[in-house]
């Protein structure tokens, strides 16, 4: 089947991607490993104000956030912040390696090859620097884009402006900014999503892989954005709940924030990330087939 910019359809991608997830459960192995690490970190964050964990975690929390966040129930307000920060760095140092591993799993399963964990892990480890750099660049680009946008809006409204495009600061910070951040996350991920398949499957050099990923994103922009964006929309309720953590803590019960974090870990690692990585890797493989590259 020839796949081109004009003929590619999501129905060519989704059935085989969903079939791989359904019939080859080992596809979930890298995501489960990452989820376990996230759960361990979440437990440490929850226990950080308690003895003996407060000896290690108490001073930095007190220094960066204040003494009040070491006490119940205010400590629960920190959970979304700290889990977001730790997930960012865990994604860079560990998630990059596991994404490379997951990509090889998909490649082998798609070609009906036996999945050999040790061989795949060694291959991912060999290209760890490239995986690390790709993940680092994409995450830092998103992080600083969000920081710049937030800083710009804060300076604008602190300068005395009451509205921007006829909308007040409450709407901007509580609604529009979340939508913009979500769009940035999808757009930036779309640019880099094929870099790891180019690196791991085609064994391209680092910057060649990034360059070719950008080119493939442009060529298949709409299906790529859909394959990334639709699963990402599942995360919107979590974003809204985390944004209103204070409301959950003081109007409901503090542990509600912990429940949201647990659901977030399960949602990301068992649904969103597997769908995105498997489907975009399948698109990549079908594109290579159409080009006559094995």
pLDDT digits (tens, 9 = 90+) for 96-145: 999 999 999 999 989 888 778 888 899 999 999 999 999 999 999 999 99
pLDDT at residue 133 in the model: 97
Identify how many contiguous H helices and E strands the chain contains and give both numbers: 16, 0
**CB burial of residue 59 (10 Å; 0-12, 13-18, 19+):** exposed
Other CB atoms within a 10 A radius of the CB of residue 6 amount to 5
In angstroms, rounded to a whole number, what is the distance separating the alpha carbons of residues 41 and 24?
A: 28
In angstroms, rounded to a whole number, what is the distance separating the alpha carbons of residues 90 and 206?
A: 21
pLDDT at residue 267 in the model: 95
Average pLDDT, rounded, for the chain: 89
Q: Average pLDDT, stretch 155-159?
A: 87
pLDDT digits (tens, 9 = 90+) for 240-264: 888 888 888 888 888 899 999 999 9
Q: Does the pLDDT at position 6 exceed 60?
A: no
Strand spans (E) along the chain: none
pLDDT at residue 3 in the model: 43
Q: Average pLDDT, stretch 7-14?
A: 74
pLDDT digits (tens, 9 = 90+) for 36-69: 999 999 999 999 888 888 888 888 888 888 888 8
pLDDT at residue 291 in the model: 66
pLDDT at residue 7 in the model: 52
């Amino acid at each position: 089947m020839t796949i081109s910019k004009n003929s590619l359809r999501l129905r060519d991608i989704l059935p085989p991607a969903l079939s791989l997830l359904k019939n080859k459960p080992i596809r979930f192995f890298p995501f489960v490993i990452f989820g376990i690490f996230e759960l361990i970190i979440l437990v440490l964050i929850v226990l950080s104000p308690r003895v003996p964990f407060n000896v290690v975690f108490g001073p930095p929390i007190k220094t960066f956030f204040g003494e009040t966040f070491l006490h119940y129930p205010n400590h629960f307000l920190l959970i979304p912040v700290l889990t977001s920060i730790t997930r960012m760095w865990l994604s860079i140092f560990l998630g990059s390696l596991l994404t490379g591993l997951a990509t090889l799993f998909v490649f082998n399963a798609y070609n009906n090859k036996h999945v050999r964990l040790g061989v795949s892990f060694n291959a991912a480890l060999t290209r760890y620097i490239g995986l690390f750099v790709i993940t680092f660049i994409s995450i830092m680009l998103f992080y600083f884009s969000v920081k710049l946008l937030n800083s710009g809006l804060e300076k604008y409204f602190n300068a005395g402006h009451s509205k921007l495009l006829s909308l007040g600061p409450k709407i901007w910070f509580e609604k529009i900014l979340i939508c913009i951040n979500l769009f940035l996350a999808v757009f930036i991920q779309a640019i880099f999503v094929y870099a790891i398949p180019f690196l791991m499957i085609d064994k391209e050099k680092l910057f060649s892989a990034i360059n070719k990923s950008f080119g493939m994103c442009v060529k298949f922009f709409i299906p790529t954005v859909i394959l990334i964006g639709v699963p990402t929309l599942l995360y919107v309720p979590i974003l809204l709940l985390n944004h209103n953590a204070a409301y959950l803590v003081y109007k409901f019960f503090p542990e509600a924030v912990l429940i949201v974090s647990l659901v977030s870990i399960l949602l990301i690692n068992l649904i969103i990330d597997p769908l995105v990585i498997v489907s975009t890797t399948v698109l990549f493989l079908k594109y290579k087939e159409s080009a006559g590259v094995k």
